Structure formats: structure tokens, C-alpha cells
Structure 1
């Protein structure tokens, strides 16, 4: 594995690509704190309005994911990624500018975040499809693991950094810092040496047909199809789980905000460790088996949360809190182990000409189901209580494991 890492470092352009991803991840982690603070404390939004602003960022994935995926396969990906990053920086930059001029309101913020969301759909499809043009396919697992390590580090330290920045320089200025991070991202990607030819298009091909080709590839492939369905279920369950847990921890169990934040931070640390181990696990056991084993950890973790919090009210006993820390550590480690293997498997089995459509299809469905999971988890908790909601979440996680296990994934390995 040491030889693989050493070889990866010598790949022209990978360091710039990885640095760009790292800067972007930390900037996004800052905004993840700054945007809610801006909406709630500066713009004084109601809970319903907070929901609308959040939806503005994710609605583009449902509306434009398939279309964007097809366009990514029609054009050179590096220039597309550069301009998507510049555009995202500009969108975020309008928020502090409007705030400084005294005209910022909720709807202007939602509009800026909606356009930001559209450009994020473009950016994510382009960046996931560009990596296989930079890195040889036998090094994709190690490359994706490096990117995941940066993302995990950002999720661990970024929120704390965001909180400090918001406290010192206010939320709008913290968002401005994220805007600058996207410009830095674009400059770093511009330094990546990659020889991209304009993709050949079939005579008379239409966008609808190209989208259909991407759907057929993703959901007709013997390995990708069950992986996609299992991942969709995971996003549904994960969004519901985190929604239910936030209310359970902060309201039902009345955990201090510091304890709640520490539980989430433990998940980030464990994710970093899992991402570090991901290449070794993928090479030794195979990508498919690693993904299945990691996904089997989620229902175990959430079953533990369900049992530990059953009937517990305010002033949760120390044993319950310990279980929550352990469960989130298991959850984070599993995410770190599987993500690089999943992304590398998807990139390895998909022809370059279909990468944009495959990535756009997967991300569109994943984000749409995540939004549904967040709403559904909150609604189920309201109607049936937190215990039933957590049980439902555990069963959906188990369903994701079952779909992956009963498929060719269990025999898939990197050659």
C-alpha cells in the first residue's frame, strides 16, 4: 500500500486536485454552520422558512441531476468544473454583499442558494467524472480515499472552525470566506494537467436519449444496479436517522449542545480513520465485500441507539450517552471504509463516456431520497414517537444491507 501511495503522489495534477477538494470541503463545513446562523439569527426566519432555505440547496439535485449528468458527458470536464466553482463562489459572495448594503432578505438568500445548488450539481458530477481522467484506474481507490480523508477531516474540524468564525466575524463574513474557497478551488483545478478531447457524439443523438442511456447503464448493470438501490436506501435511512437523532438528543434527552456536538465530532474522527483504512480493506477483501461489511454496521449501530434510548427521558444516564458515542463512532468508521470503495467501484466499471450520466443519476436520486428521508423521519417521529422512528430507520438500513448482499457485489474486487 505504501508503494501505491508513493505512486499516487507522482501522478501529475493529483496534488492540485486533492488540494482543491480539501479547500472546498473545509469551506463547505464553515458554511454548514454559518448559513443556519444567518437564516435563524440574522434574518429571523421561522422554522418553516428555515426548511424552505434548506430545500433551496437540495431541490436542484432532483430537478437537474439527470440533465446535468448528460451535459457533463458532452463537454470537457475540467473547464466545466472550474466555471462551476467560480459560479458557486459568486453565488455565495452575493450574500455578504447584500448584507453589507442592507438589502439582504430571506428570499434573496434562498435564491442565491438555489443557484448555488444548481452549480453544485454541475460541480459534483464534473469532479467525480474528472478524477478517472487524472488518475490511472488502478489508483482510483487510493485517490478516492485521500479525498475522503480530507472530507472527513473537514467534517470533524470544519464545524468548530465555522463556529469560531461566526463568533468573531459574523455569519455573512464566514460565508464570504467559503466563497473565496471556491475561487481557490477553481485556481487549483486550473493547474491540473489533463488532456481532454471533446467527447464524440452520435449523429442525431438527443439529450433525452443520452439521459436514457445513463439510466439504463446505472440500473441495468449487474453490479451498479444493486449498488445504486442499496445506496439510495442508505441515503433515505441516514437522513431520517440524523433528523430523528437531533430532536431526540436535544429535546427528549436534553443533552447539552456541547455533548451533542461531541457525538457528531466522534463520527467525523471515526470516518477519517475508516477512510485511511479503506484502500487496504478494498485491496484485501474486495470493494464489494468491504461495502457490504461496512453497511452491515449501520443497522447494528442504530439498533444500539434505539435500545439505549428506549424509555429514557431528560437526564439520560451515563451508560446511554456512552452507547451514543460508540454507535456514532461505528457509523462514522463504516462510512469512511465504504465511501472510497463505492466511488472507485462505480468509476472502474463505468466507461468514461458514461461517467457524467452515471454520477448525475446516482447523486440526483441519493439527494432526492435524502430530502424525503429528512421530512419522513421528522413526520414519523411526530406521529409515532422517537422509538418507532428509530426502529424504522434501523430496518431501512438493514434493507440496504440485504440488497447489497443478494447481488454480485459480494464477489466484486479490484483487479
Structure 2
């Protein structure tokens, strides 16, 4: 049988290398979603950790984006992306495997969980930056929207199946042993990535370049672009409140609503169905409504559903939590597909790693802060109060988008020069109408 064509006219799913990338993403994501349920349950059920320590654990998982996000981008631009992703997968697998081993030996502590979270978080920084920078090298740019939609579909599918699997494993074998599924997922991901055929050359070193200069170049590109600044601000704010939710939802579902581990897994799986629907609809919504318009519409329409989180309760009222999470996840995935595809189209290839890392630093750097605040609020005022803060926060997120040129654009021009001209012209046209409508 002849190999499938690898031309720009073929869809990304017809390309073997992209299918391998997709399969690796599926394996890694399913394992990660099991850990999303199992790791905080190890702290809550087995180590009896208070709310602030659970929040600190969530902060440790994402602290690397704040601590090493900027240099990671410059380093990724100097390396072969696929090889780096494989190494990052293996580091995460080893770190996660240490948890069940320590638990079986009866030496597991919160300190080890913090260390595991920090190590896996650092490896995830390099993997994610390399992943988003590798896709434009693997595929023609006109296929990026479809490819990102496919990747989001895989991630969302993992979010539907993974938590249910995780909750069932926790109920069956215990939280610490369930984490072994994550280690296996990362190993399988590395194996799929290693089978990709397309050769990748090592980036040529730039004479006179230094890590400091390269970081500065990435910062100037992102902060100097009007629409990228808007996206960074809005996404960072959304992630802050998402981290508050992540830090408090297990405490809320276990100690306030009274759910068992298997029920928590099913709850999170049901809510993730909204993300899967968003991934499947993102391309069609962007085509019908416009890629620029869908960015702010997705946040504006789905944000109010976050109010269902603190309104949920015991019994049938627990369903409100899943409905709220499903609607918010739908909007978040549609938003992500549109804005990530835009970023990849806009950026020159040599700056992709630094652009993605700079944005990850800005928008994911808020995650550990949100987790710490969430844990502190839950400790001081209760988990339901923390969820009220999250809900109000999601109502605020769309404001920055609505006060930007995105509100008056339908589509995002593909060419960087055309985009700059369009945004500059839009800002000039609106300058006489409203000072707050321009992008600062």
C-alpha cells in the first residue's frame, strides 16, 4: 500500500506523522487526566492535607511556567522540538512512577508530592512550548486551524474519559496506585513521537546571540503586538480563576458535597464533555462567525455559567457543578483553538518557541498565584466562598476583549503586515470615539 500523501491539499489527519503526534497527545492526556483526579485525592484522602496544602500542591504543578517559562522558550528555539518532547515525556514518567513506589514503601509525604509536581511541571513547560512550536514545522500553515481543532478534540476526549477512569482506579486500587497510569501514558506518548518520520534539522545558531537577548526578542514581539497583549491579559486572568477552581474543587466535592472518588471522576468527565463539543465546533463557529469575533464571544457567552459552581450542592444539585464546568469548558476550548491558530500563523518560525514561551509565561504564570489564593480563601472562608470568587472572576474575563479592536473585527488577517495595518487602522478610527476602546 502506498503511503498517504503529505501535501498541503491533504487534511492533517491524512498525514501519518500528524496522526502519530495526535496519538501521542491522546496517551499523554489520558494519563494526565487520571492524575488530575488522583493526585489531589492522594493529598486529601491519604495524607489528610488541609485546603491550603492542596492549593500549594496545585501551585507547584504550574509554578514552572512562572519560574522558567521565559528561558525555556529561548532554549526550545535552539533545539530539535521532537527530541525535546520525547525527553520531557520520559522525565514526567519517572517522576510520576515515584509516587506509587513511595506509597507502597510507606514513605510518601506531601514534600515528595510537591517535588513531583515541580519536576513534572518543569518538563511540561518544555514539552508544551516545543509542541506548539513543532506543529507549524510538521504541517502547512493553512492546516493549522484544523490540526489544532483535532488536537483539542483529543485533549477534550481525554478530559471526558480520563477523570472517570481515574476516579474508578482510585476507588479500585487507591489514589497512589492510580497515578501509575499517568507514568504509562507518558511512556506511550514518547513511543509515538519517536516514530514520526519527518526529519527535523537543528536550528542554526545566531552569531552573537545570548539567552538574555533571545528572551528579550520574544518579549518585544509579544508585548509590542496589540492583539497579542489583549490575548495575554485575558487568558492570564482566566487562568488565574481556573487555578482557583482547580485548587478548591476537590475539597469542595469531597468535603462539602460529599462525593466518592468514582463519582468525582464521573463529575469531571461529564463536565469535560463541553470541552469536547467545543473542539468539534470550533472550526465551524470560527468560519461562520469569524475567527476574531469568536475569541470574545466564546468568553462572553459561556462565562456566566461559572455561577453554577457555588450554587451546586448535595444530591441532585451536584449536577449544577458539572453543567457549569461543561459550559465554561466549551467556551475555553473554542477560544483556545482560535487564538492559538492565530498566534502560530502570525509568528515567524524562528520566534515560535520564544513567542509561545513568552505567552505561556504571561498567561500560565498566573496559575500558581490563583492556586495559592484559592487555597487561602478556602482555608479562611470555605470552599464555596472560593468558588464564588472564581465565578465572579469569569464574568470579568471578557471585558478586556470587548474593549479591544477584536470587537470590531470579524476575521484575523493571516499576514502579519496586514494584521498590523488592520489593527492600527481600527485603533485610529476608534480613537475619537472612546479612549477605553483602544488597546494600551
Instruction: Give the alignment's TM-score, normalised by structure 1.
Output: 0.86
Q: 1:250 to 1:338 in 2, by over 3 A?
A: same
Aligned to 1:362: 359
Question: Is the deviation greater in 194-203 or in 266-275?
Answer: 194-203
Deviates more, 1:330-339 or 1:274-283: 330-339
Change (3 A) 1:178 1:409: same
Aligned-residue offset at 1:25: 0.4
- Deviation of 1:323 after TM superposition, in Å, equals 5.3
Number of residue pairs aligned between Structure 1 and Structure 2: 404
Deviation per CA, 1:320-373: give whole Å up to 9, x if none.
666555433321221232221121111111111111112212222333312222
| Residue ranges of structure 1 left out of the alignment (5+ in a row) | none
1:13 and 2:29 are equivalent in the alignment: no
Tell me how far apart the structure 2 counterparts of residues 381 and 109 of structure 1 sit (CA, whole Å): 20
Change in 2 beyond 3 A, CA 1:350/1:109: same
In 2, Cα distance between equivalents of 1:304 and 1:102: 40
Deviation at 1:45, TM superposition (A): 4.4
Aligned counterpart in structure 2 of residue 266 of structure 1, from 267, 270, 286: 270
Q: Is the 8 A contact 1:243 1:374 kept in 2?
A: yes
Q: TM-score, normalised by structure 2?
A: 0.81
Structure 2: any 5+ residue segments left out of the alignment? 1-7, 415-440
In structure 1, the residue matched to 2:97 is 93
Find the aligned partners of 2:290 and 2:216 in 1 and give their Cα distance: 30
Which residue is equivalent to 2:114? Answer: 110
For the pair 1:239 / 2:243, whether they are aligned, the reply is yes
Q: SS of the residue aligned with 2:160?
A: helix
- The farther-off stretch of 57-66 and 12-21 is 57-66
Match status 1:63 vs 2:62: no
Matched with 2:400 is: 403
1:146-177 C-alpha deviation (Å, 9 max, x unpaired): 11111111112211111222333443432223
Q: Is the 8 A contact 2:167 2:263 kept in 1?
A: no
1:385–1:182 CA distance, 2 compared to 1 (3 A): closer
Aligned CA distance change for structure 1 residues 402 and 47 (closer, same or farther; 3 Å): closer
Counterparts of 1:19 and 1:267 in 2: how far apart (Å)?
Answer: 23
Flag the 1:237–1:45 CA change in 2: closer, same or farther, 3 A.
closer
1:291 to 278, 290, 295: 295
What secondary structure, in the 3-state scheme, does the structure 1 residue paired with 2:399 have?
helix
1:208 Cα deviation after fit: 1.1
- Who is 1:226 aligned against? 230
1:33 is matched with: 37
Give the direction of change, closer, same or farther, for the CA distance of 1:264–1:18 in structure 2 (3 Å limit): same
1:297–1:331 CA contact under 8 A, matched in 2: no
RMSD, aligned α-carbons: 3.0
**In the aligned structure 1, how far is the partner of 2:247 from the partner of 2:101?**
32
Cα contact 1:299–1:395 (8 A) shared by 2: no
Counterparts in 2 of 1:112 and 1:251: CA distance versus 1, 3 Å = closer
CA distance, structure 2, for counterparts of residue 185 and residue 90 of structure 1? 13
